[in-house]
Amino acid sequence: MKTIVITGGAGFIGSHVVRLFVTKYPEFRIINLDKLTYAGNLANLTDIEDAPNYTFVKGDITDASFLEGMFAEIQPDGIIHLAAESHVDRSITDPLSFVMTNVVGTANLLNAAKNHWKDSETAFEGKRFYHVSTDEVYGSLHNPEDFFLETTAYDPQSPYSASKAASDHFVRAYGNTYKMPVVLSNCSNNYGPNHFPEKLIPLLIHNIQLNKPLPVYGKGENIRDWLYVVDHARAIDTIFHNGTLGETYNIGGFNEWKNIDLVHLLCSIMDRKLGREEGTSAKLITYVTDRAGHDLRYAIDASKIMNELGWEPSLQFEEGLEKTVDWFLANHEWLDNVTSGNYQSYYQGMYANR
């Protein structure tokens, strides 16, 4: 039985990856390693928490000795590394926590994997370290005809993107220096069920329900490429199993939206779902001072993964947004517990002595 460690598996994207692997590969042992910080929520995985091939381990990737002991005990064959601090605004106010988790944590994982695998009977044979990164490492696009390619030079503009860029470099360095079997991906903005409500789309959904202001940075001219989270999980599955070692794959939806246009679309959907008069929610839009280092445009060219590995997005944005709104409206308890912190105290207590 192959053992796969998925770090950050209680988070937004990670929980969808864990669910996919647990259900699709019953012959794999899936270890969900998560620190359960504010954004980690085991309530995201209640539907598979009793699966015989699933185990949750509470742990901190910045603790090198913990990782060494864990790897010696479970002897993983693969690592899918998603654990990260990811909110740009938080990185501006507390950059060093991003350095610790995203840079030091990644280096600790690489080192633990290297030390464990190189001393095993088969060394790196059949092993794989997959690092999941972001399109923000590339900086900002200013020419409307340009797209981020896997060969685009890095130009991070925030502490968050700088920390992810550094972690990417460490992964490639371990691949080059120690011949570790690594693969990387850089993905565009995700959206979908279980999205933590500090991020744009779930924040807007929550605020519209409560008739609270809808904050929009600057004039809302910033452009993002959006991908449904389940499609990202499918791409991760494809790359983990079929991606060429040492390669990087960009993942995106060819789906660019100005922030302000996205906000208006979401307002229209919410008005319809809530039985409100068209235009009601749009009155809540409030323009706020733009944040520091705010990149103008991200846009991914996902041709490589589509042409080489046969992956492609399954949903158009409007369809995915409808599904997302439906999920949040049907799971208001989940949203209430997340925003109040109730789930966190429950699960922190559950695992306090493990």
pLDDT at 211: 95
pLDDT tops 80 at residue 343:
no
Which residues are the active-site residues? Answer: 135-136, 160
Quote the radius of gyration of the chain (alpha carbons, Å): 20
Contact 118, 180 (CB under 8 A): no
Q: What are phi and psi of 334, to 5 degrees?
A: -60, -45
* Residues 6 or more apart in contact with residue 192 via CB below 8 angstroms: 12, 16, 228, 229, 230, 320, 323, 324, 327
Neighbours of 1 (CB within 10 A): 9
More confident residue, 101 or 347: 101
Q: List C-alpha distances in Å: 307 to 142, 193, 243, 249, 312.
A: 26, 28, 12, 11, 9
Residue 282 sits in which domain range? 3-350
Which tokens is 117 given?
Answer: 């695998």
* Rounded Cα gap, residues 272 and 76, in angstroms: 48
State how many domains the chain has: 1
CA distance 294 to 317: 23
| Partners of residue 256 on adjacent β-strands | 225
Residue 318's H or E segment, with its range, is helix 317-330
Tokens of 298: 């991200």
In whole angstroms, give the CA distance from residue 44 to residue 334.
Answer: 9
For the cut 60, the answer to whether the pLDDT of residue 279 exceeds it is: yes
Among the listed residues 166, 288, 129, the one whose alpha carbon sits nearest the alpha carbon of residue 215: 288
* pLDDT reported for residue 73: 95
| Integer CA distances (angstroms), 283 to 261, 286, 325, in order | 14, 8, 19
Question: Mean of the pLDDT values across residues 4-29?
Answer: 97
Write the CATH number for 317: 3.40.50.720
Question: Which tokens hold the place of 346?
Answer: 């429950």
How far is residue 349's CA from residue 351's CA, in Å, rounded to a whole number?
6
- pLDDT for 130-168, tens place per residue? 999 999 999 999 888 899 999 999 999 999 999 999 999
Give CA–CA dist 210/328, Å, rounded. 13
pLDDT digits (tens, 9 = 90+) for 288-341: 998 887 888 899 999 999 999 999 999 889 999 999 999 999 998 887 778 776
> Residues in the chain, how many?
354
| Nearest C-alpha neighbor of 193 from the set 9, 8, 13 | 13
Q: Which residues in 54-181 belong to E strands, given as ranges?
A: 54-58, 78-81, 128-134
pLDDT in tens, 47-106: 999 999 999 999 999 999 999 999 999 999 999 999 999 889 899 999 999 999 999 999
pLDDT at 237 over 80: yes
Contact call for residues 67 and 112 (beta carbons, < 8 A): yes
pLDDT of residue 207: 94
DSSP-assigned states of every residue in 170-223: HHHHHHHHH---EEEEEE-EEESTT--TTSHHHHHHHHHHTT--EEEETTS--E
Helices 159-178 and 105-118: angle between axes, nearest 10 degrees: 20
